Amino acid sequence: MAHKIAPSILAADFSNLQSACDIIENSSADWYHIDVMDGVFVPNISFGMPVIKAIKPLSTKPFDVHLMIVDPDRYINDFKAVGADILTVHYEACNHLHRTLQAIKAEGMKAGVALNPHTSVSVLEDVIKDIDLVCLMSVNPGFGGQSFIEQTYDKVLKLKRMIKESGATTLIEIDGGVTSANAKRLTDAGADVLVAGSFVFKSSDPKNTCNELKDLVS
Ligand code: DX5
Ligand code: ZN
């Protein structure tokens, strides 16, 4: 299976998002990974709907929007309106996760659930068939450029087993600290999508770095 690469624009030059879009469009990247932070769920604020709306016309590839916000139900239709194709909410931010997932799908988007490093994949057992994508956080959310948490490999194996046993078709995405040093081990363990922020955008040739990462896991 061709594994997917989703560069995170959080690590891009915000004064030139057009260039970030060009890199994603003209490389073998599969998705845009778009990190929305509210300063409450995570100790950082990134950007919101106006920025997503502004770059949508520059793009042809799917927008994978990762909401690091409390009570995401308030904004599901707004994110659909600005161009989200996959909308991921945090398990830790939802009181009624099943309802939230249905609301995302009712808007015609794929529904994702992100888990913080301390949250066991077992909490998703009863809802796994309703989830299109599980985003395993391999750093504590809030900032790019952090070190990969090694425990993630075990979580991938455990989650992959759960998905197979339940007959679900859920994709596993890894977010945080992904580099060429851990990419292959992650996909070998069962990851389907790798998010890469700093590794791609802080490199000297982001397009080439992206292509190399894709080749590594193809
Ligand atoms: C962290 C974000 C990540 C981040 C990844 O809160 O969810 O998507 O941009 O950045 P790197 O790849 O630099 O760890
Ligand atoms: Zn993210």
Domain residue ranges of the chain, discontinuous segments joined by +: 4-217
C-alpha to C-alpha distance for 134 and 150, rounded to whole angstroms? 18
Mutate to test the pocket of ligand 1, among 175, 180, 213 (most ligand atoms within 8 A of CB): 175
Instruction: State the amino acid at position 108 in one-letter form.
Output: G
Where residue 84 falls (left for φ over 0; alpha for ψ -120 to 50; beta otherwise) is beta
pLDDT for residue 13: 98
How far apart are the CA of 97 and the centre of ligand 1, in A?
A: 23
pLDDT given at position 1: 64
Helix (H, G, I), strand (E, B) or coil at 178: coil
The residues assigned a catalytic role are 35, 175
CB atoms within 10 A of CB 43: 11
Among the listed residues 124, 117, 189, the one whose alpha carbon sits nearest the alpha carbon of residue 146 = 117
Whole-number Å distance between alpha carbons of 178 and 169: 23
pLDDT by residue for the chain (218 residues), tens only, comes to 689 999 999 999 999 999 999 999 999 999 999 999 999 999 999 999 999 999 999 999 999 999 999 999 999 999 999 999 999 999 999 999 999 999 999 999 999 999 999 999 999 999 999 999 999 999 999 999 999 999 999 999 999 999 999 999 999 999 999 999 999 999 999 999 999 999 999 999 999 999 999 999 99
Ligand 1, residues 5, 9, 10: which to mutate, most atoms within 8 A of Cβ? 10
Q: Helical H runs in the chain?
A: 17-25, 49-55, 76-82, 97-106, 152-166, 183-189, 198-201, 206-216
Maximal C-alpha separation, the chain: 46
Give the Cα separation of 157 and 185 in Å (integer): 11
pTM above 0.95, yes or no: yes
Is 88 touching ligand 1 by the criterion CB < 6 Å? no
User: Can you give the pLDDT at residue 151?
Assistant: 98
**Class of 4-217 in CATH:** alpha beta
Beta-bridge partner residues of 136: 115, 174
Structure-token pair, residue 64: 């994978």
What size, in residues, is the chain? Answer: 218
**Is 38 a pocket residue for ligand 1 (Cβ < 6 Å)?**
no
Q: What are phi and psi of 194, to 5 degrees?
A: -115, 125
Q: Whose CA is nearest to atom 9 of ligand 1?
A: 144
Long-range CB contacts (< 8 A, 24+ apart) of 181-189? 182/148, 183/213, 183/216, 183/217, 184/216, 184/217, 185/153, 186/152, 186/153, 186/156, 187/3, 187/217, 189/153, 189/156, 189/157, 189/160
**Which residues fall inside 5 Å of ion ligand 2, going by CB?**
35, 66, 175
Write the residue with the smallest CA distance to atom 4 of ligand 1.
144
pLDDT of residue 136: 99
Ligand 1 centre distance from Cα of residue 6 (Å):
11
Atom of ligand 1 nearest to the CA of 42: 6
Q: pLDDT value at position 194? A: 99
